[in-house]
Structure 1
Amino acid sequence: MITNRRTALAAAAVGFWAGAGRVRATSVHPPRRDPEGLLRFPIDPAPPLDLSEIAPEPIVLRALELWRTPQEGTILVRAVSADGVEGVVRASTKAEETIEFFRLFVMPKFIGEDMRRLYRILERGYRDDYEYASVPWWSAMGQAEVAVWDLIGRTVGKACHALMGRKLRDEIPVYLSSNQRGTRPEEEVDHLRRRVEETGCQAIKIKIGRRMGRNTDMYEGRSEAMVKAVREAFGDGMTIYADANGAYDAPTAIEVCRMLQSYGVAMLEEPCPFEAFEMAKQVTDRTDLLIAGGENDCAFEKWAWYCDNRAYDVLQPDPMYNGGMMRCVAVQQMSEAAGLLYNPHFPRNNADTSPLLHLCAVAPNLYGFQEYRSRPDALDFAHSPQMAPRGGTLPVSDAPGFGIEYDPSIWSTATRILPQ
C-alpha cells in the first residue's frame, strides 16, 4: 500500500534524478524465478561495474595493512599497489573486534590479486568462507574494499565517483545525527541547535525507542517527548528523521509511526529488528511514513527479497557492513530497478564521510539528506581537506580517489597492527 503521502515524498526524491538515466545495468541480482516459478542461479552474473574499462593495466595489490593512531586509537586501512600507489580510509567501526578476520580471511584474498577483479574477489571469498559470512566478516572485507577504491582512483587519476558512473551532484545535503539515546530532550535540543547554527543543516535525526528493545523506551515517554521537543525547537521547516534500531514489533511500530507523522517526521529507520524482515514489511505496508532499513544486511538474497516484496521504501546498505562500494552500487541498482529509494548508511563525519559522498554523487534514486555525525567532529590524524557542512551540504571532491590526502607523518607515529 503506497499512500498519497509516501508517493509525494518519493516524487520529491525523483526530482534529484529525473532524466538522468541509468548509470549502468547489472545482472548481479540473486536467483529469479523461471517460468515454472522455481528459483535458479543466475548464469555468470556480471559485476555492477567493469573496472577493466577504467584501468586497462592490472593493479596488483602488494600490501594491505591496519594501523592504530596514538591519540584516540583510530584504526586506518592502507592498501598499497605493486607500483607503490596507496589508498587509505578509516576502518570499519567493527575493526577492533574483527582483526583476526582481517588477518585470516581478508589479507590472503586481496594481496597479490588484480584489484580490477574486486567484485570477483569478494564473490570467491564468500564461497570459500560462507560459514563466517555475516556482518563481522563482511565488515572486515568491506574496509579493505573501500581502501582499494581509493587506491584505484589514485592509480588512474580519477575520483571514485567517476569510476562508478556519471556525476549527478556536486554537493550532498546532509542531516545531523548525534546518535544519543541517553540524553533528555532539552539536552538534545541544545546540542542540535548549536550544530545547526554552525553547519546550516536543514535536517536532523533523533533516536527513539531502546535499541533492539522489544517495545521499550530508555525511559517512559522519552521518544514522543524527544520528537515533540525537536519539532517545537526547530519549527516546521526542519526535516526530521527518526531511528528505532529495531526497537519495536509490528503493532507497536505502526502506532509509533502514527505518532511520528503527527509531528511531521519524514522517515523512520529500522522500526523492527533487522532480521525480522517480514515484520518490517508489515509496518511498511500499513503506514504512510517512509520506512528505511538494511544497514545491517549483507546478503544479496535479502536485498532481492526487500526489492521483490517492497519490505522497505528506502534501502540503506553500509559501504563496510555490506562488503564495500561495489556491493553498495549493486544494491543501488537493484533498488532503482524495483522503484525503491536509496539512502546509504555511513554514520561518519569530516573526511571519513568521503566514501558516502562519492556513492551518493552518482545514485539516480538517492533519497533526501545523508547522515553526518554531529559529534565528535574532529579526527585524530593529519589530513586535508578538513570537511564540515556549510549551508547544510558537503562538496563531492573531483580529486583522485576519495580526494583526501593523509599526511605521511601518520605512519611514523601510528602503530601497525597488521601485518605484524
Structure 2
Amino acid sequence: MKSNRRKFISSAVVGGLAATGVPFSSLGADLKSAGSMPTDLQTRYDYLDEVVKRPVFRKELFSSPVILETIELLRDRNNFLVRVRSKEGAVGIAAGHGSQNSKSWPAFEGIMTRFLGKDARDLDKLVPGDSGKSGGIPFNSQVAILEFAILDMMGNLIKKPAGELIGKIVNPMISVYQGSRVVELRQLPPEESLEIVKKDLLESKAKAIKMRAGGGGILDGDNAPGRTEKLLKMARETFGDQMVLGCDGNGNYTRKGGIRMGKVLEEYNYSWWEEMVPFGQYDDLKHVKDGLRIPIFTGESESHISTFRWLIANDACDVVQPDQLYFGGMIRSMKVARMAEVFGKTIVPHITQYGLGYLYMLHFISACPNAGKYQEFDLFSTRDANGNNIPIVYKSGDPITSYDGVLKVPTGSGLGITIDPEYVKKHKALKNW
C-alpha cells in the first residue's frame, strides 16, 4: 500500500483486530498492526475469514430470550414500513427503502418465516449470509429493514441506541461530506452546478464535498468536451484549498480513463476517487488503484460479503462503502468494516437517498473504530416512496442539525426516533402476498 495514499484516511485508524476482539495470536504472528498485509494471498483470506466468523450483535446485553412474536409489513401505496413485536410486547419499527417497488416485496414473506418465533438475541445467525442464491439489492434491502426494526425493538427494550447493540460507541459526533446533486453536477455547465452546491453548503456546513465526473452516456465520455476537467478545476478554485474535495465517477470510465481522470484529481489535490469503473469490473478497479496515488473508494452496489473479501485481500481499494440498505443491514456491514480494519482500511458507507438512510448511517458509524474522517450526507431528506417526508421526532429531544459540518448521533433508545403515529396508521398490514 502506498504511504502517500493516506492523506484522506483518518489518522484514528486503530489496532486492526484488537478493536474487533480477535486476538492477534489467533491469526498467526505475521499480523503485527493495522495496515500490515501479508504477501501470501491465502493468508490474507484466512485473516479475513476469521474476522467474519465473530459475532456482531451484543447478545450479552440481554439476560433472557426475546422472542419475535409478530412481524408486519405495512404498506401505503408504494411505501413500506416494517414493525416487529416481541412476545413480551417490545416494539420496533423501521422505514423501507423508497426505491424498492411493490413487485419486490412479496419475497419478504420468506424472510419473515426465517425470523418469526426466533430469539432476537441470535440476530447474527438470523441475518442471511452469502450462501445459496439469496442476495441482491432488493432482497438485501428487505433484510436490512427487518434488521433495523429489530435493533429498534431491542434498543427500546434496554434503553440503548442501536449503535451500542453492534459495538461500543466510539464516534458520538460524525463529520460529513456533502454528497448530493448527481444530476446537476453531471449535466449542467460547471458554473451553474457549483452555484447549486454552494447553496446546499449553507445547510450542510460540511468541510468536504463530493464532485461528479463523466455523464456523457458512454465510457470515458462527457456531455461537452472537457466539461468534467473544467468542473474539477473550478470546484477547487471556488471552494479553496482548505475544502476537502472528492469525486465520484459513477462507473463512467474504463481503466485507462479512470487513471487519466485520477491524475487530474491528483493535480487539483482531491482526496478520493470513487466508483470510476463499471460495477463488477474488479480487475480494472485494481488496475486504476495501482496506477494512482489518490485513495480509491468502492462498494456501494455490492451485495455479498465475499466480494468485499476479494477487494480487501487483493488490495483493490482503500476505503469500503457498503450501503446499509443495499448490503443487508448493520450486522453485515460491520463484518465488512472489521475486515477492512484488519489491513488498515477505513469505511465510509454509501447512503441511499430515500427514507432514513442518514439516520441508519449515523448509528452504524457510531460503533466503527475505523470510520473515515468524513461520512456521506445528502442533506436532511426523509422522502418516502410516495414523495412525502417521513415525520419523525428525536427521542433525545434535540433534532439533528449540522454544527459546522458535524452531526450528533441520536442518543435515544433503538433508532432514536419516533415516527408520527398518524403517518404509521396510513400504512396497512399486508395479508395477501
Interval containing the TM-score (normalised by the shorter chain)? 0.7 to 0.9
- Give me the whole-angstrom Cα distance separating, in 1, the residues matched to 2:312 and 2:13: 21
- Give me the whole-angstrom Cα distance separating, in 2, the residues matched to 1:234 and 1:344: 24
Alpha carbons 1:90, 1:352 under 8 Å: kept: no
- Give me the whole-angstrom Cα distance separating, in 2, the residues matched to 1:363 and 1:317: 13
Give the unaligned 5+ runs of structure 1.
none
1:281 and 2:286 matched:
yes
User: Which residue of structure 2 aligns with residue 101 of structure 1?
Assistant: 107
1:398 and 2:411 matched:
yes
What secondary structure does 1:248 align onto?
coil
- Give me the whole-angstrom Cα distance separating, in 1, the residues matched to 2:226 and 2:415: 43
The letter for the 1-side match of 2:72 is E
Pairwise CA distance, 1:373: 0.9
After superposing the two structures, state which structure 1 stretch, 283-292 or 372-381, moved more: 372-381
User: Which residue of structure 2 aligns with residue 204 of structure 1?
Assistant: 209
Alpha carbons 1:266, 1:289 under 8 Å: kept: yes
User: Which residue of structure 2 aligns with residue 152 of structure 1?
Assistant: 154
Give the unaligned 5+ runs of structure 2.
27-39
Which of 70, 74, 80 in structure 2 is aligned with 1:67? 74
CA gap 1:248/1:19 in 2 versus in 1, 3 angstroms: closer
- Give me the whole-angstrom Cα distance separating, in 2, the residues matched to 1:174 and 1:163: 23
Pairwise CA distance, 1:20: 11
- Give me the whole-angstrom Cα distance separating, in 1, the residues matched to 2:359 and 2:216: 27
Pairwise CA distance, 1:140: 2.1
- Give me the whole-angstrom Cα distance separating, in 1, the residues matched to 2:73 and 2:127: 19
- Give me the whole-angstrom Cα distance separating, in 2, the residues matched to 1:249 and 1:298: 23
Pairwise CA distance, 1:112: 1.9
The letter for the 2-side match of 1:2 is K
Number of residue pairs matched by the alignment: 407
Alpha carbons 1:138, 1:323 under 8 Å: kept: yes
The letter for the 1-side match of 2:21 is R
1:366 and 2:371 matched:
yes
What is the aligned-residue identity percentage? 27
- Give me the whole-angstrom Cα distance separating, in 1, the residues matched to 2:51 and 2:314: 25
Please give the per-residue CA displacement for 1:358-415, whole angstroms capped at 9, x wherever unaligned.
2111212111211111475766232113433231111012211121111222222234
Q: TM-score, normalised by structure 2?
A: 0.84
Superposition pairs of residues 198-277 of structure 1, within 5 angstroms: 198-210=203-215, 213-277=218-282
Superposition pairs of residues 33-48 of structure 1, within 5 angstroms: 46-48=53-55
Which of 106, 111, 123 in structure 2 is aligned with 1:118? 123
Alpha carbons 1:89, 1:146 under 8 Å: kept: yes
CA gap 1:414/1:39 in 2 versus in 1, 3 angstroms: closer
CA gap 1:270/1:81 in 2 versus in 1, 3 angstroms: same
1:310 and 2:315 matched:
yes
Pairwise CA distance, 1:69: 4.8
1:52 and 2:59 matched:
yes
Q: TM-score, normalised by structure 1?
A: 0.86
Alpha carbons 1:292, 1:316 under 8 Å: kept: yes
What secondary structure does 2:11 align onto?
helix
User: Which residue of structure 2 aligns with residue 387 of structure 1?
Assistant: 400
Pairwise CA distance, 1:43: 9.1
What secondary structure does 2:247 align onto?
strand
Pairwise CA distance, 1:160: 1.3
- Give me the whole-angstrom Cα distance separating, in 2, the residues matched to 1:299 and 1:351: 22
The letter for the 1-side match of 2:59 is S
What secondary structure does 2:8 align onto?
helix
Pairwise CA distance, 1:342: 1.2
User: Which residue of structure 1 aligns with residue 12 of structure 2?
Assistant: 15
User: Which residue of structure 1 aligns with residue 30 of structure 2?
Assistant: none
User: Which residue of structure 1 aligns with residue 427 of structure 2?
Assistant: 414
CA gap 1:326/1:210 in 2 versus in 1, 3 angstroms: same
- Give me the whole-angstrom Cα distance separating, in 2, the residues matched to 1:131 and 1:119: 19
CA gap 1:3/1:309 in 2 versus in 1, 3 angstroms: same
CA gap 1:14/1:418 in 2 versus in 1, 3 angstroms: farther
The letter for the 2-side match of 1:161 is G
CA gap 1:205/1:7 in 2 versus in 1, 3 angstroms: closer
User: Which residue of structure 2 aligns with residue 183 of structure 1?
Assistant: 188
Pairwise CA distance, 1:218: 4.0
- Give me the whole-angstrom Cα distance separating, in 1, the residues matched to 2:415 and 2:253: 37
Pairwise CA distance, 1:150: 1.5
Please give the per-residue CA displacement for 1:186-237, whole angstroms capped at 9, x wherever unaligned.
3321222112123321111122123984222344333223222322221112
- Give me the whole-angstrom Cα distance separating, in 2, the residues matched to 1:145 and 1:393: 27
User: Which residue of structure 2 aligns with residue 2 of structure 1?
Assistant: 2
CA gap 1:417/1:211 in 2 versus in 1, 3 angstroms: farther
- Give me the whole-angstrom Cα distance separating, in 1, the residues matched to 2:402 and 2:50: 44
What secondary structure does 2:128 align onto?
helix
CA gap 1:207/1:93 in 2 versus in 1, 3 angstroms: farther
- Give me the whole-angstrom Cα distance separating, in 2, the residues matched to 1:369 and 1:44: 25
